[in-house]
Chain A
Amino acid sequence: MLKPQPPESAPVVKKRISDPLPVQIVLIGLTLLFFIGFIFLPLGLVFAQAFSKGWEYYLESVREPYAIEAVKLTLTTVAIVVPLNAFFGVTAAWAITKFNFKGKATLKTLLDLPFAVSPVIAGLIFVLLVGSRTPFGSWLGEQGIKIIFSTPGIVIATLFVTFPFVARELIPLMEAQGRDEEEAALTLGARGWQIFGKITLPNIRWGLLYGMILCSARSIGEFGAVSVVSGHIRGQTNTIPLHVEILYSEYNFAASFAVASILVFLALLTVGVKVTLEKQFQKNSFHH
């Protein structure tokens, strides 16, 4: 059973004031209750199904060539999408939080828009934009450029769906921090990039990290939008989620959930990266 420990024994650099133990126990208990109902049970179901035919079948399912192709395609997509959206997120958050301008609320809302767009629509708009029914799409077709129903289409749809994550993570954070530190640095003669690298970036590192984690998790798991632009060709345009769906539709439940469990491991991996980085930070802050 999980038991709250007194803060003294915790590996935290700063000593934090904290709540009385009973309060901690109740709050942690409530959180656990939610996790059991909404996270652990579905997760348990995934693994129960994945291993329902034994270890060997599980390994066979995740090592099958089509599954490996799907993993590769998904990782490629993540590797392109996350850096692009992270760079954009930092830029947009800088523009929005460090300056006052007219239409800021509108701009912020536009950033959120992809969240409000149904994944179905998110796929559809790219079909409407570059599908072969449209003049632009048929022109691209004549040039031999394939966008939808191939990898670029999947990447673009994923870019759209995960577009706001990093920016949305950074804006509240940078707003809470204000711009005093940057302005102070400026008066002390620091240049733009120096200010950004030495002041802003360290201040926003957590938000940036969380944003990138979310962005990669969502890119890994996106189903709806990608499903519309993928074409579902086995071994070619199937991402992991689409492969899961195919296996499920073939009544191959054990294999389907086995492949789904890869996604769970990938999600855990992203957070593993986060934890490692956290430790790195703490070490570095001692050297300062």
Chain B
Amino acid sequence: MNLGWIKKITITASLIAASGLPGTIAEAAGTATLLNVSYDPTRELYQSENAAFIQHWQKQTGQTLRIDQSHGGSGKQARAIIDGLEADVVTLALAYDIDAISDSKLLPANWQTRLPNNSTPYTSTIVFVVRKGNPKHITTWDDIVKPGVSVITPNPKTSGGARWNYLAAWGYKQKQSGSAVQAKNFVKALYKNVPVLDTGARGSTMTFAQRGLGDVLLAWENEAHLILKEFGKDKFEIVSPAISILAEPPVAIVDKNVTKHGTRKLAEAYLNFLYTPQAQDIIARNSYRPRNAASLKKYAANFPKIKLFTLNEVFGNWRTAQKTHFNDGGVFDQIYLP
């Protein structure tokens, strides 16, 4: 009998364990760290913003800074923070998700009044992405509910972006017709044209751009620009509808965590930095609509004039919108029932 092989396995395992202790990046000594928990489409934006802020902070205080990023579906990220992910700042897709964090007492209920512009340093809207040449001649919201047009949008139950898409369509019809019933029928017709509901906005992009499904993709304006950049301007084009929703992705400090980490000053400086002209330019360059008028003017070519309505105008506030439309038994569930 030979037990040598067990020994070998054990030795191999312990070698792997010894070499594998994680943390060389994590434990660079003497630096301040900040954790920004964000949603999916902001990856490129915060890569640039973080680099700019790290420089800015070093110049101002002499302190070296490391900013950790975590990205994922907006609701999922909010849940992670509620369950103990120690984010210093949150930058999510919709106010409802930060409301949920405030419900568990990690930040005060009035969080949205603490920073200018409803705590949203950048906005976006919902536009259409179509295949080159626009073969189905899609120019308005009414075009996408026509029979035979295949629409790609993610699942509003699991994706923040998808909820903005839904609310944009609903808001368009309600403002145009003045009737909630018509709006509901419109949305119902729209989802009849949807062959697949991916769980996240980026999943829908892949379905549309990589797998060749669908005639039109409903997307954030910033994502639409990114799609053209990543997949080729010769394959897709952006169609901006005349009317759409003003999507406001908010940012906030997570009070309980910054108190614990002693990073309140840093976190406040970070979020305020997003409103500075330098940061606003970065925002515009990443195809988000800046709040700063000068920056908007500078990059006006990227942002065609769209008549934008706010969520509060049509739906009151996020909590009501969520409850009426997306919670179990809500309108989105009803339109799928036979």
Complex A–B touching at CB under 8 A? yes
**A-side interface residues toward B, CB under 8 Å?**
65-66, 69, 72-73, 75-76, 78-80, 82-83, 127, 131-133, 137, 141, 148-149, 151, 197-198, 201-202, 205, 212, 231-236, 246, 249-251, 273, 277, 280-281, 284
Knowing A75-B20, A131-B84, A133-B83 are in contact, say whether A231-B70 is a contact too (CB < 8 A): yes
Contacting pair B22 A73 (CB below 8 A) = yes
Q: Counting chain A CB atoms within 10 Å of each CB, which of B12, B20, B82 scores highest? A: B20
Chain A residues, CB < 8 A from B19: 72, 75
Any chain A CB within 8 A of the CB of B24?
yes
Q: Which of A66, A141, A198, A277 contacts B84 (CB 8 A)?
A: A141
Contacting pair A233 B230 (CB below 8 A) = no
Contacting pair A149 B13 (CB below 8 A) = no
Q: Which residue of B lies closest to A82 (CB)?
A: B13
Q: Counting chain B CB atoms within 10 Å of each CB, which of A65, A148, A202, A250 scores highest? A: A250
How many residues on chain B are close to A (CB under 8 Å)? 40
A-B Cβ contacts below 8 A, count: 99
Residues in B1-19 with C-beta less than 8 Å from chain A: 1-5, 9-10, 12-14, 16-17, 19
Q: Which of A75, A236, A249 contacts B16 (CB 8 A)?
A: A75
0/1 string, B82-95, CB within 8 A of A gives 1: 11111000000000
Contacting pair A197 B1 (CB below 8 A) = yes
**B-side interface residues toward A, CB under 8 Å?**
1-5, 9-10, 12-14, 16-17, 19-26, 35, 40, 43-44, 68-72, 80, 82-86, 104, 202, 226, 230-231
Q: Which of A72, A148, A235 contacts B20 (CB 8 A)?
A: A72
Contacting pair B85 A249 (CB below 8 A) = no
Knowing A69-B24, A232-B71, A233-B69 are in contact, say whether A137-B17 is a contact too (CB < 8 A): no
Q: Is the interface of A mostly helix, strand, loop or mixed?
A: helix
**In the complex, how many angstroms separate the beta carbon of A122 from the nearest chain B beta carbon?**
15
Contacting pair A79 B21 (CB below 8 A) = no
Chain B residues, CB < 8 A from A231: 70, 80, 85
Q: Which residue of B lies closest to A212 (CB)?
A: B9
Contacting pair A234 B70 (CB below 8 A) = yes
Knowing A197-B1, A235-B25 are in contact, say whether A127-B20 is a contact too (CB < 8 A): no
Q: Which of A73, A202, A233, A281 contacts B68 (CB 8 A)?
A: A233
Q: Which of B12, B22, B71, B72 contacts A236 (CB 8 A)?
A: B22
Knowing A231-B70, A235-B26 are in contact, say whether A79-B14 is a contact too (CB < 8 A): yes
**In the complex, how many angstroms separate the beta carbon of B250 from the nearest chain A beta carbon?**
20
| Alpha-carbon distance between A109 and B194 when the two chains are bound, in angstroms | 41
Contacting pair B20 A149 (CB below 8 A) = no
Contacting pair B24 A249 (CB below 8 A) = no
| Alpha-carbon distance between A78 and B17 when the two chains are bound, in angstroms | 8
Contacting pair B84 A80 (CB below 8 A) = no
